[in-house]
Amino acid sequence: MTKYRINKTRFVDQTKTVSFTFDGKKYHGFEGDTLASALLSNGIHLVGRSFKYHRPRGIMSCGSEEPNAICQINDNTDLTEPNVRATEIELYEGLKASSQNCWPSLNFDIGGINNLISPFIPAGFYYKTFMWPKSFWKKIYEPLIRMSAGLGKSPTQPDPEIYDHKHEHCDVLVIGGGISGIISAKIAAKNNLKTILIEDKNILGGSTIYQNNKNFVIDGQKSNEWLMNEISELEKLDNLIIKNRTSLAAFHSYNYLLAKENISDHLPLDKKNGSIRQRLWKIRSDKVIVAAGAIERPLIFNNNDRPGIILANSVKKYLDFYGVSTGLNNIIFTNNDSAYETAVSLFEKGISVKIVDIRKKSSSNIVKNAEDLGIKIYWNSTVVNTFGYKKIKSIEIMNLSEDGSNVTGNKHKIQCDCLSISGGWTPMVHMHTQSGGKLDFREIDQVFVPTEKSENHINVGSCNGDFELEEIVKNTNYKVKKFLNINEGGFDKISVLCSKESEKKNIWLLPNTISESKTKSFIDFQNDSTAKDIKLALREGFKSIEHVKRYTTTGMATDQGKLSNMHALGIIADTAGVKMGTLGTTTFRPPFTPLTFGAIVGRNVGKFFDIVRKTSIHEWHVQNNAKFENVGQWKRPWYYPINNENLHEAVQRESKAARDSAGILDASTLGKIDIQGSDASEFLNRVYTNAWSKLGIGKCRYGLMLNEDGMVYDDGVTTRLGENHYLMTTTTGGAANVLSKLEDYLQTEWPELDVYLTSVTDHYSTASICGPNSKKILNKLFPNKDFSDEAFPHMSYQDAIIDKIECRIMRISFTGELSYEINVESKYGKSLWENCIAAGEEYKITPYGTETMHLLRAEKGFIIVGQDTDGTMTPIDLQMDWIVSKKKYDFIGKRSLYRSDTMREDRKQLVGLLTDDPNEILEEGAQIVSELDKKPVEMIGHVTSSYFSPNLNKSIALAVVKGGKKMNGQKLFVPMENKNINVTVSDFIFFDKENKRINA
Amino acid sequence: MFVINCPYCGERDQSEFSCGGEAHIVRPKQPTELSDDEWAEYLFMRKNIKGVQFERWNHAHGCRKWFNMVRDTSNDKIHAVYKIGEKPPVI
């Protein structure tokens, strides 16, 4: 045993040594230790430097509220993890931990100079100082501040661990495995309710499990022994799931809760064996019982942050649970009875202990117990200063004045190596408020307690403000029975003896002889904000608690102010002269403790991150060297490079081939909606801008769909397959939204229409063959079919058979070339495609991708919804007046086309742009101006599509320009970073204006 | 995440649904008869009440049916769900 490991307990197995390193040095602890208890057993308190002043800081608590002992775990590039609390890490063989926020080392930190100049770094210092000169921010201030700020190092490699999600439903969820949680879970499970009990530690029992003080007795047994028996009874129950190492992250409405289970974090690296690291539980519970406990408060006095200053109950836990003494010469500084339990424990282990109490007296059993043991108590006293740089060495105390607002008498110095502090207890109301619950302020002991209103959850134990053992046990039994509507709880006749606190006193900021501006009374230890920072914020005019919090950063560190929020509120209330209850609290947001990104995303990483949709022809594209582009979730061939062609070279070749001979495109991804019903024609009349009633069976028509605001929403060709049967195509990316929109109108506005919509996008594969030789290829594929213009004209459709497979052939064109689209059931898509390629071989049929498709249609001035439009373009803006029916009484968006705003003549309108230098290709998105010298420069439009056309041998572009309709021939400019490009507005149909090639 | 009682499918998690905004805004039967202001009232103006609100919801990842719901936006308590065309309940 080391000097500080003075006690044997049942929780730490001192026969099993575990070695670990901290800041590169090797130490030993035992199985059952946390990193914090193991460090303390080696006499190490100094574990980090504070955030702003780089002051030495030590372990301060034993749980998730820890503000100082924040470590970096592991040193490899993929598994390293920053901001882990040493108080929560279970020790394992080979654990590597290091301190954060210090440079060059923990013991000599150059940032410590901040501590010396701290009078010059008040709250808001960064906001006030680094404002000017403005240019300094990005290159000088920000990198410097970031380098000296200690937030640990992120891993640089992908996380190799496995994370998991699990959905669970239950009747009762109990949050917290302390005494009240155990009583609750037992009552619920024994009454045949499916119950889950979650506990963030590895062992159930909370603080009662190591409460061996003789003043706390249940049914004649010491409370810890009674609880151990209860736990072993509990573990035998069938309909109860107990989840240790599982912490609640969020409590959402309708009793939907997220909890994170640590599965293998406590195992040595070589024993994980590919195990899941963490599992996120998504629990929907009929009833929730919150038994989250309470957190001990610190006291706020000058230099209250030195290593060796530890919360009193944590000192007791290190002693009675881990067997570690945090010091050999202890002083306890308290305002309440609970710290006396720590004093008695220390005394009984033979460790020197004295008590400083701000109260004038207390006559409870536990205080009597301490007095009987002969422990020295300084009543009505406060600590005014502490000494010792890297570890506390001594304190100075003074008497308090009658009203507690000042100090009197002489300073009295006492030597010590550990100062245990206790400022009372704060109920953990985070879960309650996350679920929407409200709080009441209880004046007598200055705590916020839950207001019980919900039918679906209750709070029991100390998180409900019940701090004494007897009321915890009895109230929990009573409340749970009532909540679950149970008559017999099993704890009805229980007898509980405990010490009862009668004297209460609280001073949020303890008085001192020296002026406040010269003290450092820390409130938020992690973010280094002090009492004087809060007072400064108030003086500077901040009133709202939320503003003071953000200005001083109190409560905004990784511990989310678990230790600091109450004192900040208290000091604000005292300074501003308002009551705490009216001040309210800041909002407690999930997660309660930090969650890893891994736990949040679970298995949805890598190829499971998002759905990938592939056409049935995808394999062929891969084999033929296609480069792909993502269109929505679809993988579409972008271009097919040959012999190391780049994008430009491949697209030029493909575009030329499609116009000179034949090209083939996989058009399977276009959205396809099957529309049937006796009102199908009327329905199309209402959703498209043009008229549909007279479209003959077997004919196709292009349609433009607007939003109700008159802006272009989608477009595509719809084919009339039968009297009451249409096949609509949509843009690839818009398919799902179009279907939803159409369903919406059908179900809510026009339920009288007899129309049925079915998405058939995935059901059909489409090969689109275009070019002057396409008809010859079709003739080869379908030798029995007449493809003459008379028998099969443009914008019509016919059924056909290929290899016994039924096809639908549409003669439609998005390239301006003679063009056919062959649709087959998806399972035959690849064979159809291969047939087309074989039939086209003699015409050098060229597969082309989306880039060539975009170029070819741009040559023809066909828009792409989403590229040339952006939700602000009407069909009139697009110069597509021809497709807007004047005769139809109504269609979606019609009325909006006559609003004063949509009729403005200076709206951005679609035009063509030609560069004066035909080889200059504009950048898509580039801004357009009419005057170069005028300042400020007025942007009158932007380039939407731009290509080098191999068929015209010049650069072409589509653009939207204010009042562009009337600007044909006008010279404009496209200013770029290094030059201005001269352009001329032109017609946006660049190629084959007469549309002759469609029937070539 | 709340639980919604779809009038066609029963209770399902909220993640299966999408909200379509305020309910009972009927598309005018004769839009061309409306002034710009009247049309704008239909097109743009929506209430965003803290309290009881009548909303349209769609069981998007389920039966794809639209229905109406009465929800208190301040605490997400759902007072009623009812089919399109049914009379809104008095809350």
DSSP A844-912: T-EE--HHHHHHHHHHHT---TTTT--S---TTTTT-GGGS-SS-S--TTTGGGGSTTTT-TTSEEEEE
Q: Comparing C-alpha atoms, which of A315, A332, A334 is closest to residue A324?
A: A315
In which region does residue A746 sit, left (phi positive, over 0), alpha (psi from -120 to 50) or beta (all else)?
alpha
Question: Is this prediction's ipTM beyond 0.90?
Answer: yes
Per-residue confidence (pLDDT) for residue A114, from 0 to 100: 67
Whole-number percent of chain A with pLDDT over 70:
95
Per-residue confidence (pLDDT) for residue A999, from 0 to 100: 87
What number is the average pLDDT over the span A382-391?
95
Q: Which residues of chain A does B33 touch, with a Cβ-Cβ cutoff of 8 Å?
A: none
Residue B29: inside a domain, yes or no? Answer: yes
Per-residue confidence (pLDDT) for residue A108, from 0 to 100: 66
pLDDT top residue among A814 and B1:
A814
> If DSSP states are collapsed to H, E and C, what string results for A58-79?
ECCCCCCCCCCCEEEECCCCCC
Give A350 to chain B, closest Cα distance, Å: 54
Rg (CA), chain A: 38
- The answer to whether residues A293 and A178 touch, using CB atoms and an 8 Å cutoff, is yes
Summarize pLDDT for A112-126 with one digit per residue, the tens: 666 666 666 666 666
What number is the average pLDDT over the span B50-78?
95
What number is the average pLDDT over the span B28-37?
93
Whole-number percent of chain A with pLDDT over 90:
83
Summarize pLDDT for A26-62 with one digit per residue, the tens: 999 999 999 999 999 999 999 988 877 888 999 999 9
Summarize pLDDT for A443-473 with one digit per residue, the tens: 999 999 999 778 899 999 999 999 999 999 9
Nearest to A890 among B2, B3, B31 (CB): B31
Give B32 to chain A, closest Cα distance, Å: 6
- Which string of b and e fits A777-789 if b means at least 16 CB within 10 Å? bbebbbeebebee
Is A150's pLDDT higher than 60? no
- The answer to whether residues B57 and A724 touch, using CB atoms and an 8 Å cutoff, is no
In which region does residue A510 sit, left (phi positive, over 0), alpha (psi from -120 to 50) or beta (all else)?
beta
**Separation in Å, CA A364 to CA A316, A345, A375:** 19, 17, 15
Residue with token string 């040193």: A75
CA geometry: angle A24, A27, A28, nearest 5 deg = 150
Domain range for residue B75?
3-83
Q: Tell whether B51 is within 8 A of chain A (Cβ).
A: no
Nearest to A900 among B2, B36, B43 (CB): B36
What number is the average pLDDT over the span A889-913?
95
Residue A603: strand, helix, or coil = coil
Per-residue confidence (pLDDT) for residue A526, from 0 to 100: 87
- The answer to whether residues A751 and B83 touch, using CB atoms and an 8 Å cutoff, is no
Q: Which residues of chain A does B43 touch, with a Cβ-Cβ cutoff of 8 Å?
A: 708-709, 896
Alpha carbon distance A459, A289 (integer Å): 6
Residue A262, strand partner residues: A278
Pairing verdict, β A663-666 and A846-847: parallel
Q: Tell whether A722 is within 8 A of chain B (Cβ).
A: no
Phi first, then psi: what are they for A799, rounded to 5°?
-85, 155
H/E stretch holding A317 reads helix A312-320
Q: Which residues of chain B does A709 touch, with a Cβ-Cβ cutoff of 8 Å?
A: 43
Segment among A70-79, A96-105, A917-926, B11-20 with least mean pLDDT = A96-105
Per-residue confidence (pLDDT) for residue A455, from 0 to 100: 82
Residue B89: inside a domain, yes or no? Answer: no
A970 exposure class (CB count in 10 Å sphere: 0-12, 13-18, 19+)? middle
| Chain A / chain B CB contacts < 8 angstroms | 53
Residue B37: inside a domain, yes or no? Answer: yes
- The answer to whether residues A635 and A614 touch, using CB atoms and an 8 Å cutoff, is yes
Q: Tell whether A707 is within 8 A of chain B (Cβ).
A: no
- The answer to whether residues A311 and A61 touch, using CB atoms and an 8 Å cutoff, is yes
Alpha carbon distance A831, A252 (integer Å): 52
Phi first, then psi: what are they for A806, rounded to 5°?
-75, 135
H/E stretch holding A309 reads strand A309-311
Residue A433, strand partner residues: none
Contact A284 B3 (CB under 8 A): yes
Q: Which residues of chain A does B65 touch, with a Cβ-Cβ cutoff of 8 Å?
A: 747
Residue with token string 């035992």: A30
Q: Which residues of chain A does B66 touch, with a Cβ-Cβ cutoff of 8 Å?
A: 743-744, 747-748
pLDDT category of residue A559 using cuts at 50, 70 and 90:
confident
> What is the total residue count of chain B?
91
Summarize pLDDT for A161-179 with one digit per residue, the tens: 999 999 999 999 999 999 9
What number is the average pLDDT over the span A803-809?
94
How far is C-alpha A160 from the geometric centre of its chain's CA atoms?
20
H/E stretch holding A240 reads strand A240-243
Tokens of A632: 């929505």
Q: Which residues of chain B does A284 touch, with a Cβ-Cβ cutoff of 8 Å?
A: 3, 13
Alpha carbon distance B17, A445 (integer Å): 46
Torsion of CA A924, A927, A929, A935, to 10 degrees: -160
pLDDT category of residue A588 using cuts at 50, 70 and 90:
confident
pLDDT category of residue A646 using cuts at 50, 70 and 90:
very high
Q: Tell whether B47 is within 8 A of chain A (Cβ).
A: no
Give B79 to chain A, closest Cα distance, Å: 13
Summarize pLDDT for A179-224 with one digit per residue, the tens: 999 999 999 999 999 999 999 999 999 999 999 999 999 999 999 9
- The answer to whether residues A491 and A475 touch, using CB atoms and an 8 Å cutoff, is no
Domains in chain A, start-ordered, CATH in brackets?
13-129 (3.10.20.440), 165-294+427-497 (3.50.50.60), 298-423 (3.50.50.60), 515-605 (1.10.10.1100), 666-855 (3.30.1360.120), 862-999 (3.30.1360.120)
Q: Comparing C-alpha atoms, which of A761, A691, A686 is closest to residue A730?
A: A761
Residue with token string 């007449």: A786
pLDDT category of residue B69 using cuts at 50, 70 and 90:
very high
Phi first, then psi: what are they for A6, rounded to 5°?
-110, 0
pLDDT category of residue A911 using cuts at 50, 70 and 90:
very high
Alpha carbon distance A184, A478 (integer Å): 10
Q: Comparing C-alpha atoms, which of A897, A783, A213 is closest to residue A498?
A: A213
Per-residue confidence (pLDDT) for residue A421, from 0 to 100: 98
Helices (H), A26-155: 35-41, 113-116, 125-129, 136, 142-148
Residue with token string 């028996």: A229
Minimal Cα distance from A902: which residue of B?
B36
Residue B11: inside a domain, yes or no? Answer: yes
What are the residues whose beta carbons fall under 8 Å from the beta carbon of A525, sequence distance 6 or more?
A50, A57, A60, A67, A68, A298, A305, A563, A564
Alpha carbon distance A870, A847 (integer Å): 30
Per-residue confidence (pLDDT) for residue A113, from 0 to 100: 64
Tokens of A18: 């575990």
DSSP string, A319-379: HHTS-B-S-SEEEEEESSSHHHHHHHHHHHTT-EEEEEESSS---SHHHHHHHHTT-EEET
Q: Which residues of chain A does B75 touch, with a Cβ-Cβ cutoff of 8 Å?
A: 253, 436
**Substitution target from B12, B58, B61, B63 for chain A, most A beta carbons within 10 A:** B58
Summarize pLDDT for A260-294 with one digit per residue, the tens: 999 999 998 888 888 999 999 999 999 999 999 99
Per-residue confidence (pLDDT) for residue A594, from 0 to 100: 87
What number is the average pLDDT over the span B66-90?
95
Contact A284 B32 (CB under 8 A): no
CA geometry: angle A855, A861, A865, nearest 5 deg = 80
What are the residues whose beta carbons fall under 8 Å from the beta carbon of A874, sequence distance 6 or more?
A706, A710, A711, A712, A896, A897, A902, A907
Number of domains in chain B: 1
**Separation in Å, CA A847 to CA A355, A641, A645, A731:** 87, 10, 15, 20
H/E stretch holding B37 reads helix B36-44
Residue A18, strand partner residues: A29
Tokens of B50: 């803290």
Q: What is the DSSP-derived secondary structure letter of residue A487? A: S
Residue A769, strand partner residues: A664, A820
Give A725 to chain B, closest Cα distance, Å: 22
DSSP string, A897-928: GGSTTTT-TTSEEEEEEEESSTTPPPPTT-EE
Residue A994: strand, helix, or coil = coil
What number is the average pLDDT over the span A911-923?
97
Nearest to A748 among B1, B34, B84 (CB): B84
Q: Tell whether A254 is within 8 A of chain B (Cβ).
A: yes
In chain B, which among 14-33 make CB contacts under 8 A with chain A?
A: 20, 26-28, 30-32
**Substitution target from A451, A743, A748, A894 for chain B, most B beta carbons within 10 A:** A748
What are the residues whose beta carbons fall under 8 Å from the beta carbon of A532, sequence distance 6 or more?
A122, A516, A517, A519, A521
**Substitution target from B64, B67, B69 for chain A, most A beta carbons within 10 A:** B64
Per-residue confidence (pLDDT) for residue A900, from 0 to 100: 94
Asked if the peptide bond before residue A143 counts as cis, ω within 30 degrees of 0, the response is no
- The answer to whether residues A250 and A591 touch, using CB atoms and an 8 Å cutoff, is yes
Per-residue confidence (pLDDT) for residue A452, from 0 to 100: 76
Count CA within 13 A, CB hemisphere, residue B58: 19
Contact A253 B31 (CB under 8 A): no
Q: Tell whether B1 is within 8 A of chain A (Cβ).
A: yes
In chain B, which among 53-82 make CB contacts under 8 A with chain A?
A: 56, 58, 60, 64-66, 75-76
Residue B63: inside a domain, yes or no? Answer: yes
Q: Tell whether B43 is within 8 A of chain A (Cβ).
A: yes
- Which string of b and e fits A845-875 if b means at least 16 CB within 10 Å? bbbbbbbbbbbbbbbbbbbbbbebbeeebbb
Laid out side by side, the sheet with A819-825 consists of A796-802, A805-811, A819-825, A764-770, A663-666, A846-847
Q: Any idea what the CATH number is for the domain that residue B54 is in?
A: 3.30.2270.10
Residue B90: inside a domain, yes or no? Answer: no
Nearest to B64 among A253, A284, A743 (CB): A743
Residue B14: inside a domain, yes or no? Answer: yes
- The answer to whether residues A307 and A419 touch, using CB atoms and an 8 Å cutoff, is no
